[in-house]
Amino acid sequence: DVKVTQSSRYLVKRTGEKVFLECVQDMDHENMFWYRQDPGLGLRLIYFSYDVKMKEKGDIPEGYSVSREKKERFSLILESASTNQTSMYLCASSFLSGSNNEQFFGPGTRLTVL
């Protein structure tokens, strides 16, 4: 079974704090993704990575950065958390970059910024 794990299920932070969300996959997938999920908006892509040390901006990268030092690990960083970053964050991975390749998702981290 493909396993995508995320470091926390629930996280509460204060405005201005630096926040790290960690994601690990165990299937040797090249591709990894970070999304945020908000009611009525579906999932929106923040950043993705097709290789180690490589990153690409998604549709809503503002206020976020990422790091991929190892193939299995992809970190999402909120440099200075703000209340509008309160959301559910989902990590995903996939094997190939072809258009018909399934992405496998982690359980999500529900982040609250106070």
Partner 1 sequence: AQSVTQLDSHVSVSEGTPVLLRCNYSSSYSPSLFWYVQHPNKGLQLLLKYTSAATLVKGINGFEAEFKKSETSFHLTKPSAHMSDAAEYFCVVSSFSGGYNKLIFGAGTRLAVHP
Site of interaction with partner 1 (CB under 8 A): 4, 35, 40-45, 48, 50, 56, 58, 90, 92, 97-103, 105-108
Instruction: Report CA 71 to chain centroid distance, whole Å.
Output: 14
Residue whose CB is less far from partner 1, 1 or 14: 1
Query: To the nearest whole angstrom, how small is the minimum distance from the Cβ of residue 105 to partner 1?
Result: 4
Alpha-carbon separation of residue 83 from 49, 64, 80, 114 (angstroms): 26, 13, 10, 6
The Cα–Cα gap between 47 and 61 comes to: 6
CB of 18 to partner 1, least distance (A): 25
Nearest CB to partner 1, comparing residues 58 and 63: 58
CB of 69 to partner 1, least distance (A): 21
Q: Would you say 105 and 4 are in contact if contact means Cβ atoms under 8 Å apart?
A: yes
Least separation in angstroms between residue 43's CB and partner 1 is: 4
Measured from the CB atom, the residue of 1 and 69 that comes closer to partner 1 is: 1
Half-sphere exposure of 11 (CA within 13 A, CB side): 25
